[in-house]
Structure 1
């Protein structure tokens, strides 16, 4: 089983972070310093010829001098994702815990057994996995690690897995065989655990002053060490950070030693120490930690860690002080069950999914958290913090906690009720679903069995339409909660048509809810998001989903889109940022930012925005005073109409933007909008609603681009997006500027129809303005001449300022007899 490296959580801040903080790792047993952008401290003199930060090398696997193996995967924009792999020799008997930090762009992974020696006997750069890749010391290219040992040849040769290749000036050159390096790791662990018996104390090796990496010929220079510290002799008393042993014991439900999966960390600054108790768990864990205040969040299992039926309890010690050797006992017998109930007849007999998330921040603002994305999603399963009681898996239990005085400790629990927890597209449901979210700020309460009254549920009436040409395709309806510190999401595959679902949040003032409709079409997927809102007890919400035809929407997109699931990026949409939006089409200086998704008749619905998409699905052309200025045909990244920066001129000019997007697996099903508009640097400043920003610089103002947007009304199509052949149909639509912009004046519009995929078009028909400001005209459909006959629409609209749009919907809907 892989062990996934968990890093300290960042502050919930999306942008503008400046500077890189050095994270002091577990067991730094000599005086060391942390660099921050705003609080520099003195440090040891910088050595000469320091290597500059380098671009990350491609991915690979590296073996550390302790025998631990780390896989490095190259991510977007040079990021590196780390995964701790099982040791080459099988079971890990050295330590099992890891700490990670980033210093000047390089990733460091520190095994627990190495922590007490770090900066003293062991050079931290031995654990710089980024440099090991750059220096071509990964496992594919070498089976040994070259080291420099400040010791006699005999002493160096005594080290396990080490062979001396030469000596000079009081040090030995040697190689550590990777296949045997685990023996060196076990020696380090055994010695520091019995450190009190050695005169030199913890963090020393007999006759060894220091071990550092010796770069091979042709390798880049070693980067500067995160902490420069002189070695200590046996007669020297330790100074600076003092370390003590922290032991974590466990008691299971039966009063016997349990199996622990989780972590411990410092709560004054999580960067000072982070220790992982990895899957499949252990009955006891011991770490060497600097003095300070700590927290433990872990699952105690009654039974084997790799057995899904083992009963679990989430047991925490959210705050305790380490000033000497300290033992903490996690007692599962104190836990209370998480068992919410719903007083509603429709909820009876549905299957249940429970999950638990938490966040424990430090005084420094960082900390540890379990969120529903990235590799922490795997920790969710390994720690049994997701449960399916109706399928026989153990319930979630948690131990009540006292309030913390340093940082914060917050909890969230979610329950999702649906017909079958094994929801799949092949078996959609027509029964209601219930999404219940419970926020527990301050920690685990004394009772976790809340009762939800039927009258307090929010009712969701939905009508789900199909794309033209499809019948019976399932929809994946998702409910998502955003809390001040985390998120929650669950879903079910449902049948098209009318349905009713329910949601509930116990803290409506701090909970933001959003619904998503994911539509399948022969393997193709389209996401459409609804409005983010605070749901209220007893509220009733009615919405229509996927009502044809699709259009480029005037709806401002949300600034942050969630990324939830295993291996996703850490895009956390908390309630503090959930409502933030960006202008749909605005000018700032000589840059126009166009952020358009696809929508339909519901004005608050819009599909997910993909800044880079397949050029076969999305294309755009941009003209300035008739001259082509930008085209996706020649773009190295295929920017679509979402997140597209356009170059403007520093004077008033006429612009043309033409964008096309396909949707569905039918390549002929598409929308094309061709806008013409005037814009200049002296245009009136935009008045944006609260929580809506200009782009690219949200700290500055902007002006609206006077683009016209066409959105269809309810055309009266059936659930399969079909209209009756041989009968008339009212084509109703609106023409407007983007939301929050004043409406255009003097608008006129015409409608054309095609029944042969745009080969020929009808004569333009004038659309009449109706009392509500919308437009409509009636078209007479012919008799059905083809069993798959589609209708395409083309609308041309103009205002009295000279702005215009031609919108073409190819295969907007289908005819039926």
Structure 2
């Protein structure tokens, strides 16, 4: 499994659910169909992947993970291939562009914008394991040859087809960086000389892209879009993203400005426009990020063209942050959340890693719809002994003075304690943080999450000084070589200290107790449909679950109804059933997971989980809160949270999930999955725990004390088992007859004999 040392998450569509980093993951559901009203005893299975997550590789080698596309509410996680900036634009029509700064000097010239349309690439299955199909054009008289990173598959005259791979794509970025550096060193504008001699254009292969058909529903009028570059000259190329702010559904064209102006036909009304540019140094690294927004301009219902000018010279305000203790900028994110007059939203974001500045142009508050502007900043000293993670929000436009001061009396101290698998050396570990701004959370969830370079070595203690000036919540997540875990947003109070554990094992499949909006319900019912499943990973904290479902090929799910098998599917973490009869039934789901041998995992390598749910139509479950998402909901039929039991383990182990104690202790919490309190209230009736030191040949019962779901568990670790990883089995029930049983191979590590 690949991990990059830096990860950033960028916003999704206005209707989209924050899947990757908000304490929930997209439901990994297997679709089953049966005739309406008939018992689904012999259903026809239509398999879906175990995770609704696709990782796209850009031609520059950067990776973008798209999560939740099947829900219609995807999010986008950007993992840059190298230190530098990334421009991310979400259009109202649904296309999401992620454009690394190293590509901007060549956009519209040798690199087509389609190469960075992540939505199209994900929809076409152009993921990390697939080739990136490209079409290339060359100048007259030039024999096509493969540019860096590209393999040609067909040549015809001055055109060619070929592909890049996830591995070869970085070669194109390296070539671009070297060429940019050479231009700057020679006193030329970046991109002045061709990226590849003789090549005039490279685009995503048209055979893989379906052209969009636009049917106008309003009278159209001419808008002339003018552009000026950072030097006051006619730009070679500027991508201009324009959206109608009366209703984004009316128009949101992308104007690729080549020269001083371009014209586009749009409905009359109010609009906003955005573009960006970059400066570079002699090493080809980004030295400055320029963002320009022109808000509230009007297209008149007139035969005379209306005009708007985007001038990169107006980006005169550097975004800077000062802190009480010394800290250097690691990550800076500026995000424009734009809401039209109907409340629909879209946005654009600039991510900057390292200390290169972002310059913005001042803007007054929006007069049509609303502009919500958010600055997110992460900084730390050279020794990374502490970290600032702060945010500043405004609904009053973009001020000319973009210098922000972090005050000590507006900070909370959050101590993050990172546990890990002994087999994980921590080289690929990132601790991410991001603000959940209450102004935009109902539609956007956690807007941006970032992690600085370098990767966090494990085990680790990270002290974060978290800003509270914008009265928002903060979300966190941890990604390691063997685990992806995300937590709910939490409100921190200035002057208070908090402690959060990550990766305290065993990390196993399971649901939890969640708060806040934009979770997906894995186990819910709605009308004659039912889904039963759970995320791949869950640690000791009730709201920590998989940020993305890992290793879907290693998951197998079976579902029974009243003892009859109705689903048996690889690559699945759950199942859906349609045509559920209007009668009581017992559903039992069985999930088996295995960590691949090349994952590096030594603990939690195999799990076997069985959940039993007593289902009674019309009475089982409690309504899922409106802010959450249920994959099976149809129309106005509300989703009901099924009474699936949850297990939270708290083993007495060190930070490598290792124990040297003769008497092993473990806290155990048994509950029901819940969303803002919505879930079963059936009393927990029993809990039993047993341990095996011989790979499951024999089992020893543990001593369990407690009641009502809270238990203290102890057992003896025999000296003969030193250096091994025991198995653990837990079974719990509630008063309604719902049950859970989980068996974990290598639940914890025993220290070697001294």
Q: Could you say whether these structures have the same fold, taking a TM-score greater than 0.5 normalized by the shorter chain as the test?
A: yes
Show the counterpart of 2:476: 515
CA contact (8 A) 2:71 2:631 kept: no
Give the CA deviation at 1:553.
2.8
Show the counterpart of 2:328: 350
Which of 398, 407, 423 aligns to 1:444? It is 398
Show the counterpart of 1:586: 524
Quick one: structure 1 residues 285 and 360, their matched pair in 2 at CA, closer, same or farther if it must change by over 3 Å? Answer: farther
Show the counterpart of 1:608: 547
CA RMSD in angstroms comes to: 4.8
Give the CA deviation at 1:458.
2.3
For 2:409, what is the secondary structure of its paired residue?
A: helix
Show the counterpart of 1:285: 261
Give the CA deviation at 1:505.
5.0
1:368-387 to 2 correspondence within 5 Å? 369-371=347-349, 380=350, 386=352
Show the counterpart of 2:694: 756
Show the counterpart of 2:557: 620
Quick one: structure 1 residues 369 and 79, their matched pair in 2 at CA, closer, same or farther if it must change by over 3 Å? Answer: farther
1:169-568 to 2 correspondence within 5 Å? 241=220, 243=222, 245-250=224-229, 252=231, 261-263=238-240, 265=242, 267=244, 272=251, 274-277=253-256, 284-287=260-263, 294-299=271-276, 308=285, 313-321=290-298, 323-324=304-305, 326=307, 328=309, 330=311, 332=313, 335-343=316-324, 345=325, 348-360=326-338, 369-371=347-349, 380=350, 386=352, 388-389=354-355, 393=356, 395-419=357-381, 431-470=385-424, 475-483=429-437, 484=440, 487-492=447-452, 493-495=455-457, 496-504=459-467, 506-508=469-471, 511-520=472-481, 525-555=482-512
The gaps in structure 1 that reach 5 residues or longer are 1-8, 18-36, 38-63, 91-137, 145-179, 183-221, 230-238, 372-379, 421-428, 559-577
Quick one: structure 1 residues 299 and 696, their matched pair in 2 at CA, closer, same or farther if it must change by over 3 Å? Answer: closer
Are 1:89 and 2:46 matched, yes or no? no
CA contact (8 A) 2:612 2:738 kept: yes
Show the counterpart of 2:654: 718
Please list the CA deviations of residues 505-564 of structure 1 after superposition, one character each: whole Å capped at 9, or x if unmatched.
5422xx4421001122xxxx4211112234443343211111112344332568xxxxxx
1:108-187 to 2 correspondence within 5 Å? none
For 1:455, what is the secondary structure of its paired residue?
A: helix
For 1:790, what is the secondary structure of its paired residue?
A: coil
Please list the CA deviations of residues 315-346 of structure 1 after superposition, one character each: whole Å capped at 9, or x if unmatched.
44323346557574737267222111112x2x
Query: Structure 2 CA distance, aligned partners of 1:12 and 1:306?
Result: 41
For 1:340, what is the secondary structure of its paired residue?
A: strand
Query: Structure 2 CA distance, aligned partners of 1:667 and 1:436?
Result: 35
Query: Structure 2 CA distance, aligned partners of 1:646 and 1:468?
Result: 43
Quick one: structure 1 residues 767 and 361, their matched pair in 2 at CA, closer, same or farther if it must change by over 3 Å? Answer: closer
For 2:651, what is the secondary structure of its paired residue?
A: coil
Give the CA deviation at 1:723.
1.3
Quick one: structure 1 residues 85 and 70, their matched pair in 2 at CA, closer, same or farther if it must change by over 3 Å? Answer: farther
CA contact (8 A) 1:790 1:813 kept: yes
Show the counterpart of 1:20: none
Quick one: structure 1 residues 750 and 350, their matched pair in 2 at CA, closer, same or farther if it must change by over 3 Å? Answer: same
Which of 700, 716, 724 aligns to 1:780? It is 716
Query: Structure 1 CA distance, aligned partners of 2:123 and 2:607?
Result: 32
- The more displaced of 80-89 and 651-660 is 80-89
For 1:554, what is the secondary structure of its paired residue?
A: coil
Query: Structure 2 CA distance, aligned partners of 1:587 and 1:546?
Result: 31
Show the counterpart of 1:686: 622
Please list the CA deviations of residues 278-312 of structure 1 after superposition, one character each: whole Å capped at 9, or x if unmatched.
6xx86x33436567655443346678999656655
The gaps in structure 2 that reach 5 residues or longer are 1-11, 18-69, 73-92, 94-107, 141-152, 160-197, 201-209
Quick one: structure 1 residues 783 and 442, their matched pair in 2 at CA, closer, same or farther if it must change by over 3 Å? Answer: same
Quick one: structure 1 residues 646 and 527, their matched pair in 2 at CA, closer, same or farther if it must change by over 3 Å? Answer: farther
Quick one: structure 1 residues 285 and 543, their matched pair in 2 at CA, closer, same or farther if it must change by over 3 Å? Answer: same
CA contact (8 A) 1:671 1:807 kept: yes
Give the CA deviation at 1:666.
4.3
Show the counterpart of 2:582: 650
- Scaled by the length of structure 1, what TM-score is found? 0.59
Give the CA deviation at 1:718.
0.9
For 2:622, what is the secondary structure of its paired residue?
A: coil
1:63-102 to 2 correspondence within 5 Å? 75=121, 88-89=138-139
CA contact (8 A) 1:550 1:809 kept: no
For 2:255, what is the secondary structure of its paired residue?
A: strand
Are 1:675 and 2:611 matched, yes or no? yes
Please list the CA deviations of residues 117-161 of structure 1 after superposition, one character each: whole Å capped at 9, or x if unmatched.
xxxxxxxxxxxxxxxxxxxxx9989999xxxxxxxxxxxxxxxxx
CA contact (8 A) 2:592 2:609 kept: yes
Show the counterpart of 2:32: none
Query: Structure 1 CA distance, aligned partners of 2:660 and 2:587?
Result: 40
Give the CA deviation at 1:367.
8.0
- State the structure with bigger RCO (CA 8 A, min sep 6), 1 or 2: 2
Query: Structure 2 CA distance, aligned partners of 1:499 and 1:304?
Result: 33
Give the CA deviation at 1:755.
1.2
